[in-house]
Structure 1
């Protein structure tokens, strides 16, 4: 995603909130739907891929003891950190990482993962690598939230339905929530504990 991350960095350098995440009704409503669809009131440790300037990050901090928020744009990460500090959210870590080649500390594990408006920028190899690394850092019982825009646009590399079906095919994933609109798709899965005698690790390598 190096070229895509560079594109995002230029957008963030051109101005604050380039996608109008803060004030566009589409973004506000979608954010509220994601938060309302979460199946638990509290989570221990959330992973947010593509945090941008932190609008979802700050909301997750109200529901999670810890949040690991990641973005490939250093400018977005800096702005997110400033907002987190201003809100005095001590349990939030904001990292500048180029997913999936870079990843949070392997010792970290999560009981919630937010994958929103990011996975369609991955090529096939990066999407497969992202899903492998994501699956390995999820605790048994963790929830995975995927939400992506559905209409076509110029720099899309993956279809939204294909992304969500690939997540669904990860070993042990049980669908909890499915919400479909003209503009976006929202799904939530739970990672079930491995069944005795099943090699989920091996099965994961065959996922798209």
Structure 2
């Protein structure tokens, strides 16, 4: 039921505007995407998953760092915009779906959870955290980035979402950015020190 409500909510937003959050052309959004990309500890990832991809602006930039990228959104209208933007990126797959129920099969070494988790009910966030903790062993980077300020209709703020993530995830916090407007955290199951990996220390 909640999934259907999200589909209606976001499809209505995209019906009124192809860019309901003014993501394109915004220096705030451009800078945030640049910080997201710069915060990823690995230069390249074999397989990444980006749920809640919206119209694919971050997806397009992530694609340059991934051998394979699966991106999803609950809104068919958002996905239509993303497909147009990414039509030449043959290693990117776009599917309709919503967390926590519609989790794709397969292994990913990068998960990007951007501006997404505050839309979940607290019980669904708990289910998602349980799913993350149950992921198979191996290299894994989890990046989360969320707007700090209150959002109408959301039980949790972005800051509260990150408090839940920090309390639940047992992995190394490799990078944390406390911006005035958003919170960005990166966890990794492998070594967090690039200097050590390159033999610099």
Specify the TM-score bucket, using the shorter chain as the normaliser.
0.7 to 0.9
- Kindly indicate whether residue 64 of structure 2 is the aligned counterpart of residue 93 of structure 1: no
Q: Distance in 1 between matches of 2:176 and 2:163?
A: 12
* Residue number in structure 2 paired with 1:200: none
| Inter-partner Cα distance in structure 2 for 1:115 and 1:19 | 17
Gaps of at least 5 residues in structure 2 are: 192-201
Question: Counterparts of 1:1-208 in structure 2 under 5 Å?
Answer: 1-2=2-3, 3-85=5-87, 88-105=88-105, 108-137=106-135, 139-191=137-189
Question: Aligned-residue CA RMSD in angstroms?
Answer: 1.8
Aligned equivalents of 1:178 and 1:74: distance in 2? 33
Task: Name structure 1 gaps, 5 residues minimum.
Answer: 194-208
Q: 1:36 to 1:27 in 2, by over 3 A?
A: same
Distance 1:135 1:23, change over 3 A: farther
How far apart are 1:192 and its partner, in Å? Answer: 5.2
Deviations 1:71-130 (A, max 9, x none): 000111122122211xx211111110122122212xx11111111111011111111122
Take 1:125 and 1:148, find their aligned partners in 2: how far apart are those partners?
Answer: 18
Aligned length: 189
Instruction: Normalising by structure 1, report the TM-score.
Output: 0.84
Task: Give the direction of change, closer, same or farther, for the CA distance of 1:138–1:12 in structure 2 (3 Å limit).
Answer: farther
SS at match of 2:139: strand
Question: Which residue of the partner structure matches residue 202 of structure 1?
Answer: none
Who is 1:206 aligned against?
none
Question: Which secondary structure does the structure 1 equivalent of 2:101 belong to?
Answer: coil
TM-score, normalised on structure 2? 0.87
59-68 or 72-81, larger mean C-alpha shift: 72-81
Distance 1:60 1:170 in 2: 26
Post-superposition shift, 1:187? Answer: 0.6
Is the 1:138–1:191 Cα contact (8 Å) retained in structure 2? no
